[in-house]
């Protein structure tokens, strides 16, 4: 590569934005060239993200316009869905690659989009041009794609957990119940009483006991991709008392019996060659895995599959760092695929554990 | 009452034991008269439980023998199941009331006991004399009962959550999937690497992703009690990053449709007059409930029932303090019923929140 | 007592306000008769404080006026200092007792008040009528006092730690350096980014590395009370990663040498008969004390004094629950003294530990 | 460099050992060639450190002998002091570089060693050959040094904070009081009740309120290095409720007055060109700094100096990740200097925040 890819980050003051700064400035092939935002104009990264006191402090947050984004090779949108929808319209066809981390373009089926994102007006022309998906599953479609939409943090762990069943083993999933548990960073930095430390610390907060929209996203994707079918798929989500990392538990009833041995083999085979998915046995370490603390700060998604002989259900656990594999790391992974770099470029850092 | 009931606590150095000391010494009708244990002999309560520096410091831990327990009215066993099994044999017929907090006598069906407690030899003679159950459901059987066995912490929350469906509405539960999330105090004070602070803090530890034995206990009880039937009932349990309190999520598919309104009414009706069960709407406060932080230190179990129109499943959430309503508080509640005191005697303390 | 004392709480939606509700409704001699506030008008307590679902739910938050407060025996002001200053003017001479938890009337010396509370206009007439102090030290002045001002949470722990040196032993304190460490509930429920869970969890935040105003309050008080003199006294304060409880470390250089034995005796003697101050040896329990987790939810202040032979300094540690002994519990303690009740009425609950 | 430096890690199952594995396997110039230990023989790294599932899984823990360590270029000793003392004797003169992270060889003055490490027999011959110190201060002495001893985690932060005063400004430090606050990972993985999650979470544990031995180490070093003198220097240490990271507060009375401006300049000048020390203003970011959460996972030590006009004292705050700059990262930094690599080789990772 004769020059580094010039990258812009919009939403630089948020948690996913900060994580993009961390990863891009550690990436040998990316150059952080623009910080965009609508608030905090003029602020340096280290003022917003106290860990990031770096040479990059020459950059400050600027508004997103045609001029400020001119000459960029890729823009990462770490913005709320409505903002992403607007910015994508501004940037499409002007910047070679737009990678959106929000929910604006995740759901393809118009009715499902309307149901789960009623406040984000769908732009059919744009929406159809976006390539959506977990890089491990649709990464080849990212090559040279101008518009990329990435799954939500929960959706990434769930989809990586279920895909070997539907796409690998071709199983029909009769019923899928998903229980998601997440740290507080999953909710961003909104100023709400419930997110203040006194109320979030020590909590097991059932913030979406029914109707979490990542369920809609997962179903929409799995049904489109073929393989086994998906009957009912619902999700309940809980906030627990730490900051970074999530675990998804998918309880799955399938149309035919599969035993532990077949499952384990199928998962290992499915993710062979994919460096960021670690298929792990539940008891392979001194602590039970998967556990998000074992992936903290890294781009790994740890997956464990278990067959419960009691009722024949399959239990699939997925753990990831919601700000890395669930957001910024996956976005960099997508950029690597988009620009033809090795998929793990700039993403080889190990988990920081314990933290 | 002409004199206070003389109470002994065995296993006084553990967490449930400490909590019994806290509650008994605040109870107007109970007198703490004996501390039993096999380790820490000679230690005063405040050495073992730093919060409890009290006049009761005259007592020290002593071995459990016929002599040391002579004259007691009630003995609470906060001991591991094998120890409880032995001590119950020693104390039955000698002490008017034995209240066991362990799993030794919870499961009535011999095959189920053997399966879930293979290391606790079943004593059929004793086992059949024990009255088991959540006080709200079987409290009338506690009156004058000489031997009482109390449910596990998870089992209490699950049973209180499901009973209005089977016993109240008479619904057949086709499939029940339970996802339990608990703080670290649920595991007691065993010296294990996984329970050290560096590894437990920040964790979402899938310590029993299949086959938690409280599932066996709940099924055994519900089937015996009649009402609606129970098809498959399985449980997965996770340790999360706080100390005290648990939440159980029961995802239930029933044989016939019931809507939100019918469910809410049925739960309110079922627990009318039971001061420790609070049937709560999910959005009735500024934080989502039920959340164990809203019951911390108290004997409440908060229960919420939700109907998910998406797939027709019923979501039942139960939150309690595993050391109070899940252990010591429930034991005092049982003692109140056993000795004819008002059920909430000594248990009217409010939750401490936030903590 | 022929009737219960009718109590009002203003600032009922805050953390100290919620704690007042918890304690007053557990108090045999107090009746919660009024909830005052300027926001959340019409809300019931359980909506604001999810733990408090109680019969008291008949009450709702109302504005503070002459009418709404008519007939009250005591009003607790759990309001910011400027609000307390205004409300005290409204309520003085109309309500028999006003107990202010804020900083509005803590500092007697006008210059010091101006320095530490520049935004709270001093009202000399009112200020001079307020009785200020830790109940253990000035409790006799509370009897029948119409206006009572209580120390800040840090100031309570510090003052209780230093008083045996100046007032008991008559030592001159040449230099006092105070290092205070507090959980997040000390900062209330303000919506600030730094108080969001992602940033407060895991933090050791030097929020006031110099110039904490509780230092001014302590000095002002100790100097007025006589006994040994106070040379320099400064404080640094840090926010740490839990919710409830604080520890103050006072590093003291005195004018003459005192050994450990003399110190321990002096502290025990000084607090003899005071049920809420526990003078504890550092190694008297299985965890090092004092530690705020050993007082959580209770009105205790644990105090430990140590003589360091290395440099002759005295280390005084004080631990308390900032919402109880540092706020609401101390206020109820003051009300007990004000109305001639036993000092521990309604305050005999034990710490909840571990939590 | 024609080949990578072959590195061995002894004590690989501990927290510092695990962190060495993380850093060495991310280091372009080091090759992890040996895992030594006396327990866990035969275990793979990923079994002991669940985050580290890596190609390095070919290595397993082996005993430390002349044979197993043959051909290594450097051995890192992440072992308790008595073990390090023994292993250093075995490895000295056989392995080109031994880097010890323990306290075995930190204190040069025999009387001080005897006082603070009474259980670690001093070996004068070996002890005198060890080069000790923070790399920023004595790094030039590490070049080609065969035996290197690194400061403790607290000592690193304290020394980096005080050196600009004594070595930079030449100030005599009349009195230094140090208050250290650390997460639980600082205590390693010993199986002690006090370190179990229920007791450590929520704690402010005064585990060494007087007499912490890092005070001895700092004084011994500063006095040897010249510059300003050190009068009394004492330390109190507290465990707080998170896992990784510490903050040291040094309260310093000096012989002459210096103002904020002079201090800030002196610190910036002193650490110019040292990439791992960030001299920061207290209010330069949206959270108060220094805070260990802003250095988590990185090799930074953030330092802030403040002049308190109230009493003329200087407040120096230092924050670092005790497992990185306080242990493994500093060891790799020392290895870089030892072998002539750029000081930040393999250490350029940014902090992971929030975590």
DSSP characters over D70-84: TT-SEEEE-S-HHHH
Confidence check: pLDDT of A57 > 70: no
Task: Calculate the average pLDDT of chain D.
Answer: 95
- Categorise residue C192: left if φ over 0, alpha if ψ from -120 to 50, beta otherwise: beta
Instruction: Tell which wins on pLDDT, C55 or B319.
Output: B319
Distance CA B262, CA B264 (A): 6
pLDDT at A97: 98
Report chain B residues touching chain C, CB-CB < 8 A.
15, 18, 22, 25-26, 46-54, 185, 243-244, 278, 280, 284-287, 289, 291, 293-298, 348-355
Give the span between the Cα atoms of C142 and C130, in whole angstroms: 10
pLDDT at B262 over 70: yes
Check: CB of residue A148 under 8 Å from CB of residue A99: yes
Question: In this complex, which of A53, A243, A287 lies closest to D355 when CB atoms are compared?
Answer: A243
Decide if D229 contacts C159 (C-beta within 8 A).
no
Asked, for residue D329, whether it belongs to a domain, the answer is no
Nearest to A26 among D295, D350, D353 (CB): D350
Residue among A15, A189, A243 whose CB faces C201 most closely: A243
Q: Which residues of D touch B (CB under 8 A)?
A: 15, 184-185, 189, 191-193, 195-198, 200-202, 242-244, 355
Q: Is C131 helix (H, G, I), strand (E, B) or coil?
A: strand
Query: B198 with B237, same domain?
Result: yes
Cis peptide before A290 (omega within 30 of 0): yes
Contact list in D for residue B197 (CB cut-off 8 A) is 184, 195-197, 200-201, 243
Instruction: Sort out which chain D residues have CB atoms less than 8 A from C211's CB and list them.
Output: 308, 310
Which chain C residue has its CA at the smallest distance from D195's CA?
C287
The stretch D288-316 carries a mean pLDDT of: 96
Indicate whether C54 belongs to any domain.
yes
Tokens of A163: 């895909």
User: Can you give the pLDDT at residue D2?
Assistant: 57
The strand order across the sheet containing B74-77 reads B61-62, B30-36, B5-10, B74-77, B97-100, B147-149, B131-132
Q: Could you say which of D25, D294, D355 has the minimum Cβ distance to residue A350?
A: D25
Distance of CA D270 to the CA centre of its chain: 20
Q: Do C202 and A243 touch (CB under 8 A)?
A: yes
Q: pLDDT tens across D133-153, in order? A: 999 999 999 999 999 999 999
Catalytic residue among B153, B171, B176, B295: B153
* pLDDT tens digits for range B157-194: 999 999 999 999 999 999 999 999 999 999 999 999 99
Residues belonging to chain A with any Cβ–Cβ distance to chain D shorter than 8 Å: 15, 18, 22, 25-26, 46-54, 185, 243-244, 278, 280, 284-287, 289, 291, 293-298, 348-355
* B191 and B291 assigned to the same domain: yes
Minimum distance, in Å, between the CA of residue B200 and any CA atom of chain C? 14
A195 with C197: Cβ contact below 8 A: yes
A273 domain-assigned: yes
When CB atoms are compared, the residue of D50, D185, D285 closest to A46 is D285
Within-domain flag for B190: yes
Nearest-angstrom CA–CA distance, C107 and C132: 8
pLDDT at B2: 57
Residue recorded with tokens 């939409």 = A149
Domain boundary residue, one of C94, C129, C164:
C129
Residue of D nearest to A13 (CA): D286
Shared domain for D121 and D167, answered yes or no, is no
Question: Where residue D90 sits, what CATH number does that domain have?
Answer: 3.40.50.720
**One domain, residues C124 and C178:** no
The token pair at B47 is: 């050495």
* pLDDT at position D86 over 60: yes
Q: What tokens appear for C161 in the block?
A: 């730690």
Same domain, B190 and B255: yes
Q: Is residue C1 pLDDT above 80, yes or no?
A: no
Q: Which two tokens stand for residue B73?
A: 């009215």
Q: Which residues of A are catalytic, by number? A: 153
State the ipTM, two decimals: 0.96
D129, D162, D190 - which closes a domain: D129
DSSP per residue over B295-335, as a string? TTTSS-EEEEEEE-TTT--EEEEEEE-TTIIIIIHHHHHHH
Q: Check pLDDT > 90 for residue B310.
A: no
**Chains A & B: contacts with CB separation below 8 Å:** 178
Q: How far apart are CA B37 and CA B35, in angstroms?
A: 7
Query: Nearest residue of C to residue B293 by CA position?
Result: C51
Residues C296 and C244 grouped into a single domain: yes
Residue of C246, C352, A322, A246 lying closest to B293 (CA atoms): C352
Q: How far apart are CA B12 and CA B77, in angstroms?
A: 9
Selecting from D193, D198, D355 the residue whose C-beta is nearest the C-beta of B184 gives: D198
What is the model's pLDDT at position D1? Answer: 47
Cα separation, A340 vs A352, whole angstroms: 28
Does the beta-carbon distance from B352 to C354 stay under 8 Å?
A: no
Is C153 noted as a catalytic residue in this protein? yes
Comparing alpha-carbon positions, the chain D residue that sits nearest to A43 is D285
- Tell me, yes or no, whether C122 and C259 share the same domain: no
Contact by Cβ (8 Å): B295, B319: yes
Q: What is the pLDDT of residue C60?
A: 95
Q: Indicate the helix (H) or strand (E) that contains C98.
A: strand C97-100
The tokens 């004080």 sit on which residue? Answer: C318
Residue D66 lies in a domain: yes
Mutation to test the B interface, candidates C20, C200, C353, most B Cβ within 10 Å: C353
User: Which CATH number fits the domain that encloses residue B242?
Assistant: 3.30.360.10
Band of pLDDT at residue C137, cut at 50, 70 and 90: very high
Chain C residues with CB-CB distance to D253 below 8 A: 175
* Smallest Cα distance from A182 to chain C, Å: 12
C-alpha A322/C-alpha A183 separation (Å) is 8
- pLDDT on residue D310: 85
Q: Within this chain, do residues A187 and A283 fall inside the same structural domain, yes or no? A: yes
For C13, name the nearest residue in chain A, comparing CA atoms only: A193
Please provide the average confidence, as pLDDT, over all residues in chain A.
Answer: 95
CA distances from B154 to A40, B179, B247, B266, D106 (A): 47, 10, 8, 22, 50
Question: How close is the nearest chain B Cα to the Cα of D199, in Å?
Answer: 8
Is A221 a domain residue? yes
Q: Say yes or no to pLDDT of D256 above 80.
A: yes
Same domain, D195 and D318: yes
Question: Do D170 and D302 fall into the same domain?
Answer: yes
Q: How far is C171 from chain B (nearest CA, A)?
A: 29
Distance from CA of C306 to the nearest CA of B (A): 19
**Set of chain B residues whose Cβ sits within 8 Å of the Cβ of A242:** 201-204, 240-241
Residue contact A353–D287, C-beta within 8 A: no
- In 10 A of CB D2, how many CB atoms? 3
Q: Which of D47, D284, D296 sits opposite A355 (nearest CB)?
A: D296
**Spatial separation of the C-alpha atoms in residues B79 and B85, rounded to whole Å:** 9
State whether B89 and B214 are in the same domain: no
The shortest C-alpha distance from A171 to chain C (Å) reads: 39
The CB density around residue B276, as the number of other CB atoms within 10 Å, is: 24
Q: Do A243 and D51 touch (CB under 8 A)?
A: no
Q: How would you list the strands of the sheet with C131-132, edge to edge?
A: C61-62, C30-36, C5-10, C74-77, C97-100, C147-149, C131-132
Tell me the Ramachandran region of residue B71: left when phi exceeds 0, alpha when psi lies from -120 to 50, beta otherwise. Answer: left
Touching subunits of C (3+ CB pairs, under 8 Å) are A, B, D
Residues C191 and C119 in one domain: no
pLDDT band at A36 (very low <50, low <70, confident <90, very high): very high
Does position D56 have pLDDT exceeding 70, yes or no?
Answer: no
Kindly report whether the global pTM for this prediction surpasses the value 0.90: yes
Of the candidates B161, B136, B175, B159, the one whose C-alpha atom is nearest the C-alpha of residue B316 is B161
Average pLDDT over residues A155-177: 97
Of A26, A280, A353, the CB nearest to D349: A26
Q: How many angstroms separate the CA of residue D204 from the nearest CA in chain C?
A: 5
Residue D344 maps to a domain:
no
Cβ–Cβ of C198/A192 closer than 8 Å? no
B241 and A242 within 8 Å at the Cβ level: the answer is: yes
How far C128 CA sits from the closest chain B CA (Å)?
Answer: 35
Cα–Cα distance for residue pair A82/B55, rounded to 1 Å: 63
SS (H, E, C) A227-289: CCCEEEEEEEEEECCCCCCEEEEEEEEECCCCCHHHHHHHHHHHCCCCCCEEECCCCCCCCCC
Is B344 a domain residue?
Answer: no
Mean pLDDT of B145-154: 98
Domain count, chain B: 2
Q: Is A26 exposed, middle or buried (0-12, 13-18, 19+ CB in 10 A)?
A: middle
Q: What is the pLDDT of residue A1?
A: 47
CB contact under 8 A, B204 and A319: yes
> Which residues in chain A have Cβ-Cβ distances shorter than 8 Å to B204?
181, 240, 242, 245-247, 291-293, 319
For residue B108, what are the domain limits?
Answer: 5-129
Nearest CA in chain B to C348: B26
Angle, vertex CA D117, rays to CA D113 and CA D119, nearest 5: 130
List beta partners, residue A34. Answer: A8
Element (H, E) at A224: helix A213-225
**pLDDT band at residue D50 under the 50/70/90 scheme:** very high
Q: Which of A179, A205, A304 sits opposite B179 (nearest CB)?
A: A179
Of C10, C83, C153, C160, which residue is the catalytic one? C153
Cis check for the bond before D290: say yes or no (omega within 30 of 0).
yes
> Is the pLDDT at C2 greater than 60, yes or no?
no
In the set D23, D78, D145, D153, the catalytic residue is D153
pLDDT at B58: 83
Task: Please tell me the distance from the alpha carbon of residue A305 to that of residue C117, in angstroms, as a whole number.
Answer: 60
Give, in order, the Cα–Cα distances in Å from A125 to each of A92, A128, A131, A217. Answer: 11, 6, 13, 19
Q: What is the Cα Rg of chain C in Å?
A: 20
Question: In chain C, what residues touch B325 (CB-CB under 8 Å)?
Answer: none
Which of D213-227 are b and which e, b meaning 16 or more Cβ less than 10 Å from the residue's Cβ? bbbbbbbbbbbeeeb
């Amino acid at each position: 590569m004769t020059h580094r890819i010039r990258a812009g980050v919009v939403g630089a003051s948020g948690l996913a934005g900060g994580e993009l700064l961390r990863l891009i400035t550690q990436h040998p092939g990316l150059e952080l060239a623009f910080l965009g935002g609508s608030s905090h104009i003029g602020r340096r990264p280290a003022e917003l993200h106290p860990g990031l006191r770096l040479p990059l402090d020459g950059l400050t947050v600027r508004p997103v316009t045609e001029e400020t984004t001119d000459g960029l090779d890729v823009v990462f949108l770490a913005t709320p869905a409505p903002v992403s929808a607007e910015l994508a319209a501004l940037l499409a066809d002007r910047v070679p690659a737009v990678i959106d981390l929000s929910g604006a373009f995740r759901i393809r089926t118009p009715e499902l989009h309307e149901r789960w994102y009623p406040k984000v007006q769908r732009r059919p022309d744009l929406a159809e041009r976006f390539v959506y998906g977990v890089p491990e599953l649709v990464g080849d479609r990212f090559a040279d794609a101008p518009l990329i939409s990435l799954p939500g943090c929960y959706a990434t762990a769930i989809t990586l957990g279920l895909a070997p069943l539907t796409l690998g083993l071709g199983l029909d999933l009769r019923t899928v119940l998903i229980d998601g548990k997440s740290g507080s960073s999953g909710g961003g930095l909104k100023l709400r009483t419930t997110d203040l430390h006194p109320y979030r610390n020590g909590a097991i907060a059932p913030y979406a006991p029914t109707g979490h929209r990542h369920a809609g996203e997962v179903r929409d994707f799995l049904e489109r991709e073929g393989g086994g079918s998906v009957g009912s798929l619902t999700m309940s989500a809980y906030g627990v008392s730490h900051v970074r990392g999530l675990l998804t538990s998918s309880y799955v009833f399938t149309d035919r019996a599969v035993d532990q041995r077949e499952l384990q083999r199928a998962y290992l085979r499915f993710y062979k060659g994919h460096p960021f998915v670690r298929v792990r046995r539940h008891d392979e370490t001194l602590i039970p895995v998967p556990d998000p603390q074992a992936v903290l700060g890294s781009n790994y998604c740890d997956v464990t599959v278990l067959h419960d002989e009691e009722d024949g259900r399959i239990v699939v656990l997925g753990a990831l760092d919601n700000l890395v594999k669930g957001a910024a790391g996956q976005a960099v992974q997508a950029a690597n695929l988009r620009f033809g770099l090795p998929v793990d470029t700039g993403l080889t850092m190990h988990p920081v554990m314990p933290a």
